[in-house]
Structure 1
């Protein structure tokens, strides 16, 4: 049997490519001029297929994972990041620290919302939950001019939410309240909704303070599961414009 390598993973992804999806994905992920993922390249491989391949090569060396994460092809990077998450979840304390550092070195490759949403909660957030001394990194990311770092900041707090710790989600949501990008509006609203799923009072306290200044898309995501009357109550307090698109 051949030693697992980035090339073998790339070959498997190429065999799994679907030409119709290769034509659709660039539009869905906004890869055209001026899009948030301008220039990204897609083979047309479904997420379930990428995850299946990642599981098969979950023991790929970090040297070979690096080749995937540096690729211009989206599915190469996605599969590489899924392999990192798989390794992180099986690693001991020292290994988790190594993988967290490795991930931070390759943030440039985490340049679309599906990549961020796959890695930020399950690897970066989990590590920061275990190592609160490094949590200030999230606030640095939230102030970053890089869209994806700002999305990492709020999405990483999903790990904290699952642990019933809402502090950083609410603080970062406040910090990102006036962010101009639609993908941040959606991510912040999503995480506020997750807070509400576990502690409605905590979410409502935030909304009572900020609903009137929240972008409408952010607010809609946050109150999606509210009863109709309560949704109407909060929506009438938000004059901010809506965002559109996937993510």
Structure 2
């Protein structure tokens, strides 16, 4: 269960056409949000399959994967980590969560964030709500990725019917300059509305007029046409 074995399997699954396309799709050019990220061209379903085959990889080997400059190495490493977290007892979950926090800087593209933030970081904070203050620290970070991690982690809470922190963080991000944050906040509000429509609509009544257009469009995506028009006119 070595990092080198997993990297070799990923290389054998690489697709040259996808390797050429992914850098454009994930905005890796100079000055773009994922500048310098490198891709093999391996699809996520193939990465999940490889992750399942190597689900018992020890943390020192996972550290090599999540610390790699290759995007698929990092994502596959985190997929293995999430799989281990789901099967672990509380003591092991603490170690896996601590490992994830040590390697937070490796969550440096939106797909990595959206995979790990709700399904590991957020799930751990469901069990330890007393630690959620870290999200309110991250939401003030100059790092785009830490801010997205903060709001995306709340999806774990929302799935449990716990909406307060998601709405509080969404409110703090209303003026964020980044489109990737606008989309994440809008998506989060939409998820709240799926379970508690009155709460989402109350939030929109207060804030629709100051929300970036992309954020608002994502938030009201599932509304009936008349309600979408109402909030867009706000």
Given the two structures, how large is their TM-score scaled by the length of structure 2? 0.99
The answer to whether the aligner puts 1:75 opposite 2:75 as a matched pair is: no
More helix by share: 2
Cα separation, 2, equivalents of 1:74 and 1:208: 40
Cα separation, 2, equivalents of 1:17 and 1:197: 38
Query: What is the CA deviation profile of residues 203-244 of structure 1, one whole-angstrom value per residue up to 9, with x for unaligned ones?
Result: 00000000000000000000000000100010112xxxxxxx
The answer to whether the aligner puts 1:161 opposite 2:127 as a matched pair is: no
Matches within 5 A, 1:134-173: 134-173=131-170
Deviation of the 1:180 alpha carbon: 0.3
Counterpart of 2:82 in structure 1 is 85
Counterpart of 2:14 in structure 1 is 17
The answer to whether the aligner puts 1:222 opposite 2:219 as a matched pair is: yes
Q: Which runs of 4+ in 1 moved over 4 A?
A: none
Cα separation, 1, equivalents of 2:86 and 2:114: 16
* Alignment match of 2:111 (pick from 106, 109, 114): 114
Instruction: For residue 141 of structure 2, give the secondary structure of its aligned residue in structure 1.
Output: coil
Counterpart of 1:196 in structure 2 is 193
Cα separation, 1, equivalents of 2:173 and 2:80: 30
Cα separation, 2, equivalents of 1:45 and 1:95: 30
The answer to whether the aligner puts 1:50 opposite 2:57 as a matched pair is: no
Cα separation, 2, equivalents of 1:145 and 1:58: 34
Cα separation, 2, equivalents of 1:24 and 1:169: 34
Deviation of the 1:133 alpha carbon: 1.1
Given the two structures, how large is their TM-score scaled by the length of structure 1? 0.94
Q: How many matched pairs?
A: 234
Cα separation, 1, equivalents of 2:92 and 2:128: 14
Q: CA RMSD in A?
A: 0.4
Cα separation, 1, equivalents of 2:31 and 2:203: 33
Structure 1: any 5+ residue segments left out of the alignment?
Answer: 238-247
